[in-house]
């Protein structure tokens, strides 16, 4: 059996405040205690020309992502 770790929808504002320390601690624990075969990282950015920005008025640069 192969194991992969997916951490989904972690945004910069998610990692602010008291809850962020618990989230990071749990993710770190998963990474250090389980021998995964793959770690999947996906970065998403929404430039102002994107449909995401046009629909939600939300944008993030590639650097912020």
Contacts of residue 24, Cβ cutoff 8 Å, sequence gap at least 6: 15
Buried b (16+ CB within 10 A) or exposed e, 19-44: eeeeeeeeeeeeeeeeeeeeeeeeee
Determine phi and psi for 60, rounding to 5 degrees.
Answer: -145, 135
What pLDDT score does 56 carry? 77
For 1-59, write each residue's pLDDT tens digit: 788 877 777 666 666 778 778 888 888 888 888 888 887 777 777 778 888 777 777 77
pTM reported for the whole predicted model: 0.46
Q: What is the pLDDT of residue 65?
A: 61
Residue 54, pLDDT score: 78
8 A C-beta contact, residue 62 and residue 45: yes
């Amino acid at each position: 059996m192969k194991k992969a770790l997916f951490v989904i929808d972690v945004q910069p504002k998610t990692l602010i405040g008291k809850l962020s320390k618990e989230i990071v601690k749990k993710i770190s624990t998963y990474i250090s205690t389980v021998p995964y075969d793959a770690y999947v990282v996906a970065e998403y950015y929404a430039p102002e020309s994107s449909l995401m920005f046009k629909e939600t008025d939300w944008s993030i640069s590639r650097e912020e992502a």
